[in-house]
Amino acid sequence: MVGIRDITLPGGGSVPALGQGTWHMGESRAAAQGEIRALQAGIDLGMTLIDTAEMYADGGAEEVVGRAVEGRRDSVFIVSKVLPSNASRKGTVAACEASLNRLGTDRIDLYLLHWRGRHPLSETVAAFEALRAAGKIGAWGVSNFDVDDMEELLSVAGGDHVAANQVLYNPARRGIEFDLLPWSDARGLATMAYSPLDEGRLVRHPALARIAASHGASAPQVALAFLLSRRHVIVIPKSGSPERVAENRKAADLILTSDDMAALDAAFPPPRRKQPLEMI
């Protein structure tokens, strides 16, 4: 097993290209202990970036993350998000404090605006910058922003400090490859790929299965390896099973050939024109 490749963030610091998601975690007390074990298994395997949000289970996912990282906080990179309805100047600070409390930590390593809402970007960025100066967050970014949104963000005071953009990206949803991904790559911004298995729809996809068979791998591993082959992409699959987490980890060791990539292009054609940014 080789090490997971690192992604360098703007402003310094690096994170593993393969992390863990928590969407739908924290929704059931009965499942919480298993979710904690799965996250801890991923940390043990080097998947030390954990993505969560105040929206997920109304903060329940953050509580699960907090319990999973207890006693090992310094070895984990935590990403969380503020809801757009809370993203005013004061609201962002209050939301961050609430997330910190649920996470049981004094800092969030990367804090994202979950998607655009009614509050001006200037207010949200001002709050992010204040939180960063206070040491409450290490860096900040956005989620579900298209190129025009990113360009507007850069026009705001302090907007050029953005570190990452988290968007829907997987082999079946490649729209960002036409413009957003090249735009971000050219500026050294990290792209975080959420729903990398397309909400489970790619788990048994025949095209992925054919490629997987030639490597002694699984279809999910091929889907993750496809994303991991991108230079500035961070992939955050979610799993509540330590066994599935271990399977996801092996995707970082899978090197796809040029024939594999051609087969993926045939099964999931890359975009030839601008497409609306997809969201789930």
The pLDDT value recorded for residue 3 is 83
The pLDDT value recorded for residue 11 is 83
Topology of the domain covering 13-192+234-240: TIM Barrel (3.20.20)
Q: What is the pLDDT of residues 136-162, one digit of tens each?
A: 999 999 999 999 999 999 999 999 999
- Band of residue 188 on the pLDDT scale cut at 50, 70, 90: very high
Binding residues: 114
Binding residues for substrate: 114
Q: What's the whole-number average pLDDT of the chain?
A: 97
Distance CA 160, CA 165 (A): 13
Catalytic status, residue 56: yes
Distance CA 79, CA 88 (A): 19
The pLDDT value recorded for residue 1 is 65
Catalytic residue among 56, 111, 169, 194: 56
The pLDDT value recorded for residue 80 is 98
Q: What is the pLDDT of residues 66-109, one digit of tens each?
A: 999 999 999 999 999 999 999 999 999 999 999 999 999 999 99
Size of the chain in residues:
280
Exposed/middle/buried for residue 262 (C-beta within 10 Å: 0-12, 13-18, 19+): exposed
